[in-house]
Amino acid sequence: MDIRNCRKCGRIFQYSGESPVICDNCKREQEKLFEQVRDYIRDNPGASMNQVSEENSVSINQIQQWVREERLEFSRESGVTFYCEKCGAPIRTGRFCNNCKNAMAQDLDSMYKKPVTAVPHKRRTERDAMRFMGKQDI
């Protein structure tokens, strides 16, 4: 059992291993706050980051974290822009632009797939070759 102090309220609670280290109470509070901010941005698409932060008593850091988690997205009118952590291109939500995301997904794909696909592919061609030779024999 992992007992920790909640990073938000300091209360001791049983930590389940998920980050961040906050208690269930604070998690619920944070969820409520998130919904409030999300609704606020939806209703006030032109609101700046400072405005959202002040009107909802939520830190800019927290807002930025939600955006990085792709849970929040600022509209074009807001003038709030985030930048891809890889290439610096302006993005609306998340941590990377679509180009970098696709490139990274492909990298991951090829890293992951190469050893797996190489073997059955070879086997298949060997089998095909054998079948082909068998046909020729007849």
Which residue among 4, 38, 68, 86 contacts Zn ion (CB under 5 A)? 86
We find the least distance from the C-beta atom of residue 15 to Zn ion, in angstroms, to be 11
Which residue among 12, 60, 87, 108 contacts Zn ion (CB under 5 A)? 87
| Beta-bridge partners for 4 | 13
We find the least distance from the C-beta atom of residue 45 to Zn ion, in angstroms, to be 24
Do 96 and 85 meet the contact criterion of CB atoms below 8 Å apart? yes
3-state SS class at 70: coil
| E strands in 42-104 | 82-83, 90-91
Stretch that binds Zn ion, among 63-71, 86-94, 116-124, 129-137 (CB under 5 A): 86-94
* Close Cβ partners of 50 (under 8 Å, ≥ 6 residues apart): 60
Residue number, 16 or 136, with CB nearest to Zn ion: 16
Residue 92 interacting with Zn ion (CB under 5 A): no
CA–CA distance, 77 with 65 (Å, rounded to integer):
20
Binding site for Zn ion (CB under 5 A): 6, 8-9, 11, 23, 26, 84, 86-87, 89, 97, 100
